[in-house]
Structure 1
Amino acid sequence: MTTLSAGGTPSPRIKRILIAVDLSSVSARAAAYVRYLAAPGAQVRVVSVAENPRTLLPLGSLTDAALQTARAELLRDASEAAAHAKEAFANGNGAVEADVIELSRHGGYTANALIDAATEWKADLLVVGARQHRGILRWVEGTVSESVTTQTPCSILVVPASYDAEIPEFPRRILFALDGSPASLDAMQFGLQLATPEAHLRAVYVIDRAVRLTDFVPIHVLEDAFIEEGKTALANAAGVFANLSNHVETGLLRTKPTSDDVPHTIVREAERWHADLVVVGTHGRRGLARWFLGSVAARTARIAQTPLLLARPRPDSSA
């Protein structure tokens, strides 16, 4: 796959892709979504986590023999999941590794095991299929999600269970959510690696009219500041788009005055625009409100109906 940079030239930064799987259809769709995204020469590793039966069942409820049987069954399921996912890449661009992590030996929880695997393997991208309320990737919700988005050293691609559209060979419509920070612009550059020349690209900035700082700053002052920051952010995005041959567009969005927030606005726009992929940064800062410190990305992941790329800044980025 040919990827694009701001200058319209290939700029591969996704060289090592780690895919977390289990036996669910959610994992199968996540693997299918990313199957064609690996550029020639990229390394792909599939990893499945075999949970520790001691953490799944009440302490003392199993004899040693029963415990060993349960551990063997969990290991067998994890191995089967890894093997199935590996088969999905059989006709890909290169060799695919498969590995199983046994929590009974590794210790900790699924989230910790995936973070450690991504760190040790020096992954550029961690891919997960997310059931937002249960299952292997239940860490996508709650406070755990925020620790994952801050502790995982690489970008994360989340394919939600609710995404039931036909999976395209490559994302055809990519939505970039900007917050005016260098980190969000860097996330945009990262996401452009997944864009073919035929892809439609849209960059948006959300004006948060439902802010919670009105006891300190008048609402119209904040909104005016957001509008100015948004115009600058979209001008910077237009500069990135300028040398691309893609169909591109930008837009200012607004939250509802009450009972709304930035994540819901991003998700609504993704659905309205029929996005195949949404790209957000995980360590941006949004002007006075600094709304993009990880919590917005995590909350967006919990409600997303569209594959979501949580892109981290480059190690050498000023962000």
Structure 2
Amino acid sequence: MTTPTEPNTFRRVMIASAGGTGLPSGTRVAQQFAAADARFRLVNIVCNPAALYPTLMLSFPDWCEAHRAMLHGAQVALRDAVIALHGVVAATDAEIVDLTALHQGAAEALAHTAAQWNADLVVVAAHPREHHWDSRIDPEELVALIGRPVLYLPPASGGASDAPAASRVLVAIDGSDTALDALRTALDVAPPGARIKVVYAADDRFAWCEWLPFEVVSQHRIDVLRRGVAMLEQGGRAAETALLELDDESGDASSAILGEAQRWHADLIVMGSHGMRGAPHPLPGHVTSRTLRDAACPVLVCARSASSLRAVATPRIGLSEPHPGSAGGLFYQ
């Protein structure tokens, strides 16, 4: 059982990137949420060269040469990242995940790797050109597959050489169990001196206001924030909350969250993988998806009961194994 003097910090942290971008800085960001003796694993995603150039007809020799060059580049990037982190973290190892050998998508392959290694936090360092990158890792899909928190570092924050401390943590809740579990996770892992602000923001304008009185909806929002205040006080944190107003008729909660994060100068946004109207699996266009797409600061996405799932045995995921001798099992100790 966790005691108040021993916060429930992460002990097995996996940092993943396509092309090796952001591995050192991602590790430094994750370090402030990890235990002092935490182990870190760097994962470089190598995609299929044919998928990168869909309009070109690559001959087999050209494909093999491109694949070899990408594997070599991934090895160099991992070695450089391990060297850069020498003396920064206590224990670091590295792995190449070759999507060509695994015949899987990036999120599926990384979920398999995280489950095998029993990671309790997965950090995704976004590629600067991820919308053109075949090996893009979808953080929401990862949360749905492994049921554990995923820390997403957008390109704007992933390339910084000095990782800023998470001194201002913004937690978005909507009354769902998933959102309240995200607040519990934030209370567990936020640095002791960090300020935590809980805000209510949900796409509930059309969901409720058409058939519920305005007073009922308003009371629900107040009750949700009161629960947030109680959790903050129980965790020994100063109660700081806000009820975000949605500016336009579309009721875009993600814009309200991102706007508040910018005004409040948040270093980290924490939210659930789905809210009251969502499903456990990611759906395009909902609040978390839109927040991840446009966020300028790191976003920690938590699944339902994330704090308790970290202590559960590794989930079994029915995925194919890498080919013998492939780079999917390549390690650097």
> TM > 0.5 between the two?
yes
2:88 maps to which residue?
A: 92
2:97 maps to which residue?
A: 101
Which range moves more in the overlay, 128-137 or 71-80?
A: 128-137
**Alignment partner of 2:183 out of 188, 195, 200:** 188
**Alignment partner of 2:118 out of 116, 122, 147:** 122
Matched, 1:175 2:173: no
Describe the shift of the 1:123–1:90 C-alpha distance in structure 2 as closer, same or farther (beyond 3 A).
same
Aligned Cα root-mean-square deviation (Å) = 2.9
Which range moves more in the overlay, 181-190 or 244-253?
A: 244-253
**Alignment partner of 1:159 out of 153, 157, 176:** 153
Matched, 1:80 2:76: yes
Mapped contact 1:47–1:98 kept (Cα < 8 A): yes
2:7 maps to which residue?
A: 11
1:48 maps to which residue?
A: 44
2-side partners of 1:243 and 1:108: how far apart?
44
Matched, 1:239 2:230: yes
2-side partners of 1:166 and 1:249: how far apart?
31
1:110 maps to which residue?
A: 106
Describe the shift of the 1:282–1:207 C-alpha distance in structure 2 as closer, same or farther (beyond 3 A).
closer
1:274 counterpart letter in structure 2: H
2:314 maps to which residue?
A: none
2:118 counterpart letter in structure 1: K
% identical equivalent positions: 28
Which range moves more in the overlay, 147-156 or 39-48?
A: 147-156
- Deviation sequence 1:244-293 (CA, Å, 0-9, x none): 554441111111241441111111111110000000011442xxxx2586
Describe the shift of the 1:86–1:306 C-alpha distance in structure 2 as closer, same or farther (beyond 3 A).
same
Describe the shift of the 1:114–1:201 C-alpha distance in structure 2 as closer, same or farther (beyond 3 A).
same
2-side partners of 1:260 and 1:124: how far apart?
34
1:225 maps to which residue?
A: 216
- Deviation sequence 1:2-22 (CA, Å, 0-9, x none): xxx8x7442325222111024
2:249 maps to which residue?
A: 258
2-side partners of 1:52 and 1:123: how far apart?
25
1:211 counterpart letter in structure 2: F
2:136 maps to which residue?
A: 138
Mapped contact 1:209–1:254 kept (Cα < 8 A): no
Mapped contact 1:43–1:94 kept (Cα < 8 A): yes
Mapped contact 2:14–2:114 kept (Cα < 8 A): yes
Mapped contact 2:203–2:287 kept (Cα < 8 A): no
- Deviation sequence 1:132-172 (CA, Å, 0-9, x none): 633366344xxxx6544422432110111133889555310
1-side partners of 2:162 and 2:221: how far apart?
32
**Alignment partner of 2:289 out of 283, 291, 298:** 298
1:313 maps to which residue?
A: 304
1-side partners of 2:171 and 2:48: how far apart?
38
2:35 counterpart letter in structure 1: A
Secondary structure at 2:259's aligned position in 1? helix
1-side partners of 2:83 and 2:237: how far apart?
33
Describe the shift of the 1:260–1:251 C-alpha distance in structure 2 as closer, same or farther (beyond 3 A).
same
1:42 counterpart letter in structure 2: A
Secondary structure at 1:162's aligned position in 2? helix
Mapped contact 2:33–2:191 kept (Cα < 8 A): no
Mapped contact 1:35–1:89 kept (Cα < 8 A): no
2-side partners of 1:171 and 1:200: how far apart?
9
Q: TM-score, normalised by structure 1?
A: 0.81
Describe the shift of the 1:207–1:105 C-alpha distance in structure 2 as closer, same or farther (beyond 3 A).
closer
Mapped contact 2:178–2:275 kept (Cα < 8 A): yes
2:257 counterpart letter in structure 1: I
Please state how far the C-alpha of 1:241 moved relative to its aligned partner.
Answer: 1.6
Secondary structure at 2:305's aligned position in 1? coil
